[in-house]
Amino acid sequence: MTETTGRQLITFRIGDQDLGIDIMAVREIRAWSPVTPLPHAPSYVRGVMNLRGSVLPILDLREKLGWGVTDPGQRHVILVIQYFTRVLGLIVDQVSDIVTVDSGSLQPAPDLDVAAARLVEGLAPIDARMVMVLDLDRLLSRRAEPRESADEQLEAA
């Protein structure tokens, strides 16, 4: 995913924070529409939505990052991202623009014990902003899934 020359990111905002995701991972951007809640799911999984016949889970990114809870409405935006074979949506406040960052200018995330630090791959200075580049691997690892499989539960028991 990392190119030697530069990386293209889509940047977006949650509250007054700027974040970025690799453009290759973003399939489309949609306006918010009501979702169907999923039972037994973590609270940041708001539910599922219909995207042209496919059913996608929709995650509240704000909540996942530990910055509160989104009360989604018409002005919110859903980033549909694809991670390997999985497709899902992230609720964000607004999408900003497409930027290119030099791999070299990406600074590592500080080693703080907050959810945001764990999910961020690095920090990129773009103009006057600090853009947090999300680490999709960590964001979407199966452990963050709505429900552990039966086997995992059994082992834990």
Partner 1 sequence: MDLDDIQAMFFQECEECLAAAEEGLRALEEGSEDSIDAVFRAVHSVKGGAGAFGHERLVAFAHQYETVLDLVRSHQLAATPDLVQLLHRSRDMLDDHVSSARDGRQPPVDAELLSLLSARASGNPPVAEAIVMPEPESVAEATDAPVTLNFRPHRGALLNGGEPLRYLRELERLGALSITLDSDALPTIEALDPAEAYLAWRVEFPAGTDEAALREVFEFIADDCDLSFETPAAAAEVSVQPESEDEFAALFAAAPVNLDALPVTPAEAPAAPPAAAAAKPATDEAAKRPGAGVIRVDIEKVDRLVDVVGELVIAQSMLAQRLVDAGVPSSDALENLSQLIRDLQDAAMSMRAQPVKAIFSRVPRIVRDLEVETGKKVNLEVTGETTEVDKTVIERLGEPLTHLIRNAIDHGLETPDERVAVGKPPEGTIRLAAEHRGGLISIRLIDDGRGVDHVKVRAKAVERGIISPDAVISDDDALNLLFAPGFSTAAKISNISGRGVGLDVVRQNIQALGGRVSISTQVGEGTCFTLTLPLTLAVLDGMLVGCGGQTYVVSVDHVVDCMRPTPAQLKSLGEGAGLVQVRGRYVPVVSLARVFSVEDAITDPTQAVLLLVESERHGTIALHVDQIIDQRQVVIKSLDGNCGRIDGIAGATILGDGRVALILDIDSICRSGELGSAGIVEEA
Residues that bind partner 1 (CB under 8 A): 34-41, 47-50, 53-57, 85-88, 142, 145-147, 149-151, 153-154, 157
Q: How far is the CB of 20 from partner 1 (least distance, A)?
A: 23
Q: Which is closer to partner 1, CB of 100 or CB of 141? A: 141
Query: 26 CB contacts (<8 Å, ≥6 apart)?
Result: 10, 79, 80, 81, 82
Helix, strand or coil for residue 79?
strand
Whether the CB-CB separation of 80 and 31 falls below 8 Å is answered with no
CA distance 137 to 116: 14
Q: Which is closer to partner 1, CB of 54 or CB of 107? A: 54
Q: How far is the CB of 101 from partner 1 (least distance, A)?
A: 29
Q: Which is closer to partner 1, CB of 39 or CB of 104? A: 39
